[in-house]
Every structure is written in structure tokens, then in C-alpha cells.
Amino acid sequence: RLLRAQPYAMTFELTAAELEEAVTERDKDAIAKAGGHLGIADKLKTDPKLGLCGTELSEENLTKRKEAFGVNEFEYPPPKSFLQLCRDALDDLTVQILCVAAIISLGIGAGLKKHREEYGYLEGIAIVLVVFVVVFLQAYIDYVKEQKFRQLNSIKDNYAVKVVRNGEVHAVTAGEVLVGDVVELSAGDKIPADGVFLEGSKLRADEAAMTGEPIGIAKSHDKDPFLLSGTTISEGSGRMAVVAVGSNSQWGVILKTLIVEPSSTPLQDRLDVLVVTVGNFGIGAAIATFVASMIRWIVNGSEGEGWDGVEILDYLINSVTIVVVAIPEGLPLAITLGLAFAMRKMMADQNLVRRLEACETMGSATQLNADKTGTLTQNRMTVTDAYLGGTQYDSVPPKDIADEFAALLAESVCVNSDANLAHNENGTIDHIGSKTECALLQMVEDLRTAGKGNLPASTNFAYVAGREKHEVAQRYHFTSARKRMSTAVPMNGGVRLHVKGASEMVVKLCTKMMQTDGSVTDFSADDLAAAEKAITDMASTGLRTLCIAYVDLDTAPGALGEEPPEANLTLLGVAGIKDPIRPETAEAVRLLRQAGVVVRMVTGDNKLTAEAIAREAGILEDGDDGLILEGPVFRKMSQSEKEAVAVKIRVLARSSPADKLTLCNLQKSLGEVVSVTGDGTNDAPALKDADVGFALGIAGTEIAKEACDIVILDDNIASMAKAVLWGRNVFQSIRKFLQFQLVVNVVAVSLNFISAAAGITELPLAAVPLLWVNMIMDSMGALALATEPPSPHLMERKPFGRSAPLVNREMWRNIVVMSVYQLIVCLVLLFAGQDLLGIDETDGDAHYRTLRVNSVIFNTFVFMQIFSEINSRKITEWNVFEGIQDSPIFCFIIFLTIGTQAAFIEGVGRTVVGPAIGFMNLTGGEWAVCIVIGFCALPVGFIARQLPLDIFPGMTDEEAAAAAMEEKKLAVAAANAAVSKENAALSAGDVNVNIAAKKRWSKVRNVMHAYSAFMAPLTVPVAESRERARGRSLSPTVGDEGDFLAAGLPSPVAKETRTKSTEFRIVPPGSETSVNMK
């Protein structure tokens, strides 16, 4: 930016970089050095009153201004093209292994005459087709969801802005605003660019989207002269001079940090391990097959049977075939289909998934750090309680108030406020101005709806007619000293002064009280005590209270003085105002807690209000060991203290966005799977760093949506509970498919290995039948098991977290028992099939008899997989048919698979192609044998579920969760011990206590780095493949440079490749907290 501005440095005395830095750092000294707001205007060649004028509006000078400071357009991260998405899908490790297998299979099948005659090349073609389906399906899904997101998050940069040019106010689009423009602002306006305050009246900006401040920030020359792009004016009016636009503004600066690729998900980490394990199993079986075949070849050769070298090539081909069979081609397809199905269903549940893997990750989530406003609550200040006529009401408006009382209450609210309501395009009502005043205006609407106060019916808001009815004679605005606002209106020759303000102050100014029947009585000391008790009770539950009163005066409207005559007031009532929780919040929190997800409120509100909302929502309950902390306290803690409380916190009040980011990273470092909600621009770092970031679709800013993984279209925490349910269903579906797929692979590989080792030249499962099994079982099985709807029981179990194994002990039990059963059946048919099936020498030659047996083995194997697929619907439950009527896709695929297999056997088997590729058509009796043996897989699966788990390998989810919990306890205990040690060291004044520990840790760290360097040749290729599959490259920075040098290792970061992190301050002025975002 600075380089771009240099050719025009003589034109303007300030550069874009200097102005951007001043706003970023909220540097009031820089403004003062430039001569204050007037000096800034002068250096930008603009007039504080007239704006850009004269020659500055010439085409040449406007061009220079644009070249020096840029235009007000934001560079949003561009969506990836379809080809880029295809390339990302090809970077997946499993897909790459499939590509290698396809090349080998095509080379052997097409290159060798024997295999070419047996259509051996079909296997390679089919694998290529699988790769194409996976890659294009994945790319298409990513492309479509990104297009949907862009449509949802279309940036409305062309809203109208009022700028002053040549002393006249012009309406221009936000994109036409330039540095130096003077912009007129009023309540409700969105600030189009960064600016410096020039002048105004009661000007306040709602900067919650940028800084997290829950209340409007007053703007002035002394305290806070900076107005930030993307925020809105909540109250008052004024003018500002634009100092930064587009990518140089705060909105643009944050946007540039969002082009950061997300980290891997728990499922991706598990799958990487599984693919390597399965690959090792296949390679081991292939080597064992080749070695056994070679031993037999050597023995046979030594016994005089000849040394045919072609047989060695056949052995090698058979071994390669085993490796190809071992690779689960359907695994990427199953994952893609499962995630795509979940994404489509989640869209119906108001969750727009931007990152497909986030579907599953949410199912593993253990922590949810939720915003209060808009997520747990309705984001609408509302009068929920009231003290009227000496009676406490918890429902407003009350049914027993007289029309006279309601009319006067409505009059007081209408005339004594500056706020406004406005209808929104989506059917909601916008609050413009003070949120508490808007709550009172909404109460007037409720009075009219309830038929109270004889308020006139109209298509407009009720308060509008109330204001039009009464002319304002004098208005005394709210001040921090008076803590109240008063408005005088003419009434019967005198005036009526309406007063509202801090309850504890206004109530003491009252000498009378209007009863709800309209009568006026004296306000006694007992009445005062009762009113103060009501105020205290409402405040203790987190309500903001406002006292409403009036007094009738004989003073003429023109005779009112500068000070309001606020005495001898008549009390109308005290309103209790809060942002109420959504009706569904408590149930959603209960479901999440039941599911083992710790729900935590992170809010900028005060501790009292936050605690009250947390208890109402069910986040805090009596007997919980949850902590309630405030942001300033949390920030002052040491790292060890933060680690000790990171998981225990249930409410973090008065928090900043930096606190949310710190909390998120702390929890991740403790092994938690963390989800975060956010709606503001300031939440972008936490949304990006969390395992799953939820942005609010209605209240969220465009930048928050850009940074997130899932957009909650209805801003509702209940939608997050549904996301957890679907995420767990995805994980469970992948487990079901793996349970099914591993049986296929184990049996196929083991059968061919035993056959080859036994010297059988015609393998029972030839290349094409094996491919057919893989295609039918993988593709059909993936589609069937991935599209099963979720069971509500999934919300009754603990989250999978990062520790749960992908294949747990219950799955190993099913896999082992089913594999043993199928392998025994196939081996019996292989070695005794001719006798059992009644096939003798009269039926044909040896090749024909072998072909008949192999055909039965092939068909039996397929039908065992079909019924095994039904078994795989459940992992631990006995009734595998439960809910099958709710899975029409599953049922359809089962029947389709049976029909396809029958057509394959009887159709292709009767042609010359069938015997050439390893099978033939079957008799009716052989069909019956195949179906009965296949059906027996169901009772075998039932028996398997009755066996004790202790005799099987692996870990149960409960054991994994217990181990993870123990690790967390140890981590927290270590943090607590570190805190105690730090405190002891500080109290003893011994600053050298930690030196020995640091030296020991340095040695351990050096050993770890040395080990990492030693293992790098093995681990880096897999890691690089995984990172490329995520759409990014592996960072050259593996650790701290000093650690490597201390270990005697070369620095992993070349001097020329080191990059400096961009520090961006996202907190209010005066705070020292900042976030480094790389």
C-alpha cells in the first residue's frame, strides 16, 4: 500500500499506511500530531464543512485520490474454481493410492496377453471410474455449497451513503466513497469506511460487530474519535472525515486474514491412520503370498517339476491383486456420500455447511462456546417484568390494567424517547436507537394488540400516532449525572413532564402513584420500600430497570427553564427489561448437555446478567462445579491458571473477542474438540481457529460468515443441537460402512492368500469378480449405509471427541466373527465344494468343475455381504431391523444389489465372457445354497453381539473416553500444580525455582525434536499428502527455530522464507490485548 502511495506522496501529506495504522491502533496521539480532526481534513485536502470541493472534484484529482488511498471495494477471498476443487480432491492420500493401483492394474491387465484375454484390464478401468466419481462428486458438492453460500452472503456494498461535496449533501453508493469525503451519519446508518469524528450530537456507534462492546460507544474528539467501517450508528447524528477505505479499512484488514486453510478434523486424522493400516495389511498379505508361492515354486522345482519363470510373474501379479483388493475404494465415496447427505439434511435444519468436514466434526464436539446475544437469547430487548400500581407482574402487558392507566403509560413512553422501530425485509422489527427505549416502544405495540389504552388502529406503529398527537415543548436529554431523560408536552394550558431513568433515583422523586385502575394515591414510605424491593428483585435476576413517572405543571410551555422541574412526580411504574432467551434454548442446552457437550456462555454482558441468563438457559445448575469468570480476571491469569480453568468455565462475562480466541485455543490444546459461535467481525479469529465455527446467518456480519464452517440461518442454538445429531450420524454411518467394508476386504484377501499359498492356480475370486464385489459392495454399501437417518439415541451418548477409535472393540467383535464365518464357508466350498455340491468327473473337465465351484463361492460371497450389510446397520444393538422402514433408500439398494447380482450371474455367466472372467451361471439348487448360506450371516451376527468383549482387540468408546478424561485430569492437575508452584515461588521470592524445570524441559524438547527429525523421512510424505488434501501445503515452520538450533539441528526455516505475522488489534481503545493472526 505504501509503495502504491509513493508516486503521489507530494499530493497528500498523509499516506494510506499511516492512516490505516492510526485507526488500527486507535492512536489518538497520531491524530493530535496531525493537528486533530481539522489537521487531518487539511492534509487530506478536504473541508470539514464543505467536504471535497473545487478542483479536488476534478476527474484528474479524483483519480489521484483513488490511486493514493484506494477505492472502497473489499477483496473477499475468491471461491475456488471447479478444477481447483478437483485438484484438491485428487490430493487425498486414499485417492492417490487408488490411482497407483489403477495404473498397475491397467498395465498388467492390458499389457499381458493372458490377462488381456480374461478382460483383466476391466479392473483398472473400474478403479479409474471410482476415482472419477469420488473426485467429481466431491468437487461438485463443494462447488454447489460455495455457490449457495455466496448467494446467501452476497455483500450489499452498494447501500446509499450521504456525503458532503461542494457544501451540498449528495447520496452516493458506499463503493463511491473516497478518502477525504465528509459523511453525514444518523441513527441506523451503516458506516461505509473508517473515519475520524468531525462534529455531532449524542453520536454513538454500535461496535459490537468489531470490538465486542455490548453498548453504544460515544464518539468525541477527546475520548474516541474513530468510527469503524462495518459498524452502525446507534444514536445521535454527526459527521466524519473518511480516512481509510476498502482493503485499508478495518473491515478490509480483517477480511484479508481469512484466507487461512482450516486444520484437519478428528475424522480426517483417524482416516489417515486407517488408510495406512489397511495398506500395510494388504502389503503384508501380498508379501506373504509371494513368499509362500516362491517357496512352493522352489520346492516343486527341486523335485523335478521344472523351473518355469513365467510362474514367478503370475505370483507377482496375484500379490499385486491382493494389495489392490485390500484398498477400500469405497471409503472416500462413503465419506463423501455421508457428508453430502448430512449437508443436505442440515440445510433443511437451518444449517448451511460451508466446509463439508464440519458435518462430522460437530458430532465429535466436546465444547460449545456460545454467544449470549442472538444465539441463546432473541437479540431483542423486551419488557418482561413490571412493577405497576404497587403490584409486581411477570407478564407484560398485564390483563387487569385500566384503559386510562394504559393510555397514560403509552403516552409517556411514546413522547419521552428518541428511538424508532422499523419493519425489516425478513418480517422482523429493527430497533433503531437506544435498545431499552425500543423495548418500551415495543411494549406500546403490545398494549395496542391487547386492546389496552384505546390506542388507534393503523398500519403504522402505535408510538408514531402517540408522538404526532403531542407536540414537544422541551426535551431534557439523558446525562450521566442526572441518569434520566424528561420531555415536556403542552397539556391544558400548562405542561406535562414525562420522566424516565435510573429506577433507584427516579422513584425517590415520586410523591404520588397511579394505581392500575387509573386512580392516583399518595406514595408513602412503605410504597417506596416496596418499589425499591421490586427494583432490587428484578435487578438480581439480570433485568435492567427503568422507572417511568410524570408530573402536571401549571407552567406555560415557553416558561420552562434549562433545568427540568423533576419533583413531586407521580409514579407510573418500573419496567424490567432484558433480552429474553429463545423459547427453545433451554431444551437445546439440555439436549447438548445430555449428549456430553459442555455448553459455555461467552458474553460481553456483566456478570449478574450473564449468570441469570445462564441459569435460565440451563447452562448453570445447582450442584455444578462450573465457574463464572469475568474477562479482565481471566486475562490476568497465568498460562497455567488459564489451563486449569479452561474447561471448568461455564460463564465468561465481560469478555473480549481475544478472550474467546484464547479460551478456544486453550481447550484445543487440552485435547477438546471445540465449537464456537460468533456474529461479529471481531469473532473471525476464534471462528477460524475453532474445530467448528458457527456464524449467525441473520445477525452475523459478512466477515463472520466468511470465517465460519457452518452458517446458522435462523441464529438458533437449537440448530446447533441438530448439527451435533447429524455429525454423530455421519460418524456412525462411516463406522457402519467400515465394519461392512473390512469384512469384505479381510475375507477376500485371506481367501486369495490361502488359495495362492495352497498352490491353487485358479483363484476362487478372480480379478473381475473381485472387482465386481468391490464395486457393488463399496458403492452400493456406501450409498445404503450413508443415507440412513439419525437415531435420537445418538444424543444420549457422550461425544466421540478426538480419542474415540474409528474401529472400536464392538466393531472388531463383529468384524472378526463375521470374517471367520465367511472365510470358513469359502474354504469349505473351495476344498470340499465339488463333493458337497455333487459335482463329479461326469460333469466335465477339471477346469469346468473348478469354474462351477468358483461360481458358487463367488455368488455365496456376494450374498453373505448383502446380509452382512443388513447386519452392519447396528453395531451393538441386537435388532438390526429396527427402523429399517424409515430407510427407503437402504431397502431399495438391498433389492437392487440382489437383482444386479442375479442379472450378472445369469446374464453374463451364460455368455463366453463369464467363463473367461471366472464364473458361470448356476442351477436352482446352487442358487438356494448361496442364498441360505448368505442368510445365515444374520444369526451369526446376532450371536456375535452376545459374545463378551474382553476376548477381542481394540478399545471401547467408553475406555477411550475414560483414558481421554484421565489425560485431561492429569493436564489440569499439572496446571494446578504449576499454579501452586508459581505461587509458592512468588511468595518465597525465589525466582530461580523454575530454572531447573526449564532446563529439563529443554532437554526433553530437544530429544523430541531430534526424534522428529529422525522420523521425518517416514512421516513427512504422509503429512504432506494429508495437508494437500486439505487444500494447503505443509508449513516449513515445524517448531521454534531456537529449539532446533539447541538440539544441534539445522533451522527448519530458511532466512529468506521467514514471514512476519500481521498484528491486528481488535479490542477497544486503551486495551493492551491484541491477536496475532498469520
Exposed, middle or buried: residue 296 (CB in 10 Å: 0-12, 13-18, 19+)?
Answer: middle
What is d(CA 1033, CA 1017) in angstroms, rounded to the nearest whole number? 17
Alpha helix stretches (DSSP H) within 650-780: 657-669, 684-689, 702-707, 717-757, 767-774
CA–CA separation, 277 and 290 (whole Å): 20
* H or E stretch at 547: strand 544-553
Spatial contact of 627 and 647, defined as CB atoms under 8 Å apart: no
The kind and range of the H/E element at 456 are none
Q: Which residues contact 754 (CB under 8 A, 6 or more apart)?
A: 827
Residue (of 410, 416, 376) closest to 396 by Cα position: 410
Q: Identify the pLDDT of residue 674.
A: 92
φ/ψ (deg, to 5) at 184: -90, 135
Give SS3 for 1061. Answer: coil
**Separation of alpha carbons 947 and 938, rounded Å:** 15
Q: What is the CA radius of gyration of the chain?
A: 37
pLDDT number for residue 600: 93
pLDDT at 608 (0 to 100): 82
Is residue 776 predicted with pLDDT exceeding 80?
no
Give the pairing of strands 649-653 and 598-602: parallel
Residue 29 has pLDDT above 90, yes or no: no
Mean pLDDT over 892-913 rounds to: 89
Exposure b/e, 71-106, CB count within 10 A at least 16 = b: ebebebeeebeeeebbebbbbbbbbbbbeebbebbb
pLDDT band with cut points at 50, 70 and 90 for residue 295? confident
**CA dist., res. 675 & res. 364, Å (int):** 10
What distance in Å separates the CA atoms of residue 614 and residue 611, rounded to the nearest whole number? 5
* Residue listed under C-alpha cell 419521552: 416
Amino acid at 4: R
- Cβ atoms 5, 16 nearer than 8 A: yes
**d(C-alpha 960, C-alpha 364), whole Å:** 13
CA 436/CA 218 separation, integer angstroms: 17
Q: How far apart (Å, rounded) are the C-alpha atoms in residues 640 and 984? A: 14
Res 762 pLDDT > 50? yes
Mean predicted confidence (pLDDT) in 1008-1023: 40
| Grid cell in block for residue 451 | 386492546
Identify the pLDDT of residue 1032: 42
Q: In terms of pLDDT, which residue wins out, 438 or 699?
A: 438
Cell representation of residue 960: 477411550
CA dist., res. 71 & res. 65, Å (int): 9
Report the DSSP pairing between strands 351-353 and 367-371.
unpaired
In the chain, how long is the greatest CA-to-CA distance? Answer: 132
For the segment 84-98, what is each residue's pLDDT rounded down to a tens digit?
888 887 876 667 766
* Residue 8 to residue 6: CA distance in whole angstroms: 5
Check pLDDT > 90 for residue 928: yes
Would strands 569-578 and 544-553 be described as parallel, antiparallel, or unpaired? antiparallel
Are the beta carbons of 502 and 453 closer than 8 angstroms? Answer: no
CA–CA distance from 45 to each of 140, 168, 171, 180, 707 (Å)?
Answer: 51, 17, 21, 7, 37
Q: 338-371: per-residue pLDDT in tens?
A: 777 778 888 888 888 887 777 778 888 899 998 8
Beta bridge partners of 238: 185, 200
Q: How far is CA 1074 from CA 29, 229, 567, 900, in A?
A: 19, 19, 49, 62
pLDDT over threshold 50, residue 1049: no
With b for 16 or more beta-carbon neighbours within 10 A and e for fewer, the 873-909 pattern comes to bbbeeeebeeeeeebeebeebbeebeebbeebbeebb
Is pLDDT at 711 greater than 60 in this prediction? yes
Q: Which of 32-41, 211-220, 1059-1068 has the lowest mean pLDDT?
A: 1059-1068
Give mean pLDDT, residues 377-403.
90
Q: Could you tell me where the beta strands, DSSP code E, fall in 66-113? A: none
Express each pLDDT in 934-947 by its tens digit: 999 999 999 999 99
403 belongs to the catalytic site: no
Mean per-residue pLDDT of the chain: 79
Predicted pLDDT of residue 943: 93
Which of 189, 349, 371, 659 is the catalytic position? Answer: 371
Q: With contact defined as beta carbons under 8 Å apart, do 372 and 605 qualify?
A: yes
Q: Decide: 526 and 587 in contact? Cβ < 8 Å.
A: no
Helical pair 888-903 and 846-871, crossing angle rounded to 10 deg? 180
Does residue 432 contact residue 550 with C-beta atoms inside 8 Å?
A: no
Residues near 243 by beta carbon (within 8 Å), at least 6 away in sequence: 19, 22, 23, 40, 44, 179, 193, 194, 195, 196
Q: Range with the lowest mean pLDDT among 288-297, 775-784, 931-940?
A: 775-784
The CA-based dihedral angle spanning residues 269, 677, 23, 220, taken in that order and rounded to the nearest 10 degrees = -170
Measured CA to CA, the distance from residue 662 to residue 669 in angstroms comes to 11
Q: How far is CA 71 from CA 179, 308, 425, in A?
A: 8, 78, 29
- Nearest to 267, CA basis, from 1031, 1030, 1032: 1030
Cell (9 digits) for 834: 465339488
Mean pLDDT to the nearest integer, 330-335: 68
CA distance 260 to 131: 28
Q: Residue 966: CB partners within 8 Å, gap ≥ 6?
A: none
pLDDT, greater one: 434 or 245: 245
Give dist(CA 435, CA 407) in Å, integer: 22
Mean pLDDT of 1035-1041: 37
Of 214, 234, 216, 1067, the residue nearest 607 (C-alpha):
214
> Within 670-712, where are the H helices?
684-689, 702-707
Cα separation, 110 vs 160, in Å, equals: 67
Establish how many alpha carbons lie within 13 A of residue 733's alpha carbon, considering only the half-sphere containing its beta carbon: 34
Comparing C-alpha atoms, which of 749, 918, 789 is closest to residue 289? 749
Partner residues linked to 510 by β-bridges: 569
User: 1076 in helix, strand or coil?
Assistant: strand
Dist. CA 287–CA 784, nearest whole Å: 34
What does the pLDDT read at residue 501?
Answer: 92
Contacts with 976 (C-beta within 8 Å, 6 or more apart), sequence order: 640, 644
Give the number of C-alpha atoms closer than 13 A to the C-alpha of residue 230, restricted to the C-beta side: 30
Rounded to whole angstroms, the Cα distance separating 441 from 431 reads 10
How many CA atoms does the CB half-sphere of 757 hold within 13 Å?
15
Global confidence as pTM: 0.66
What is the predicted pLDDT for the residue at 24? 81
Q: Point out which residues pair with 498 in neighbouring strands.
A: 487, 550
Give the model's confidence band at 990: pLDDT under 50 very low, under 70 low, under 90 confident, else very high.
very low
Of residues 202 and 1043, more confidently modeled: 202
- What are 740's three cell numbers? 461392512
- Residues 6+ positions from 949 with CB-CB distance below 8 Å: 809, 810, 813, 956
pLDDT digits (tens, 9 = 90+) for 255-293: 666 555 555 566 666 776 777 777 777 788 888 888 888
Stated length of the chain:
1078
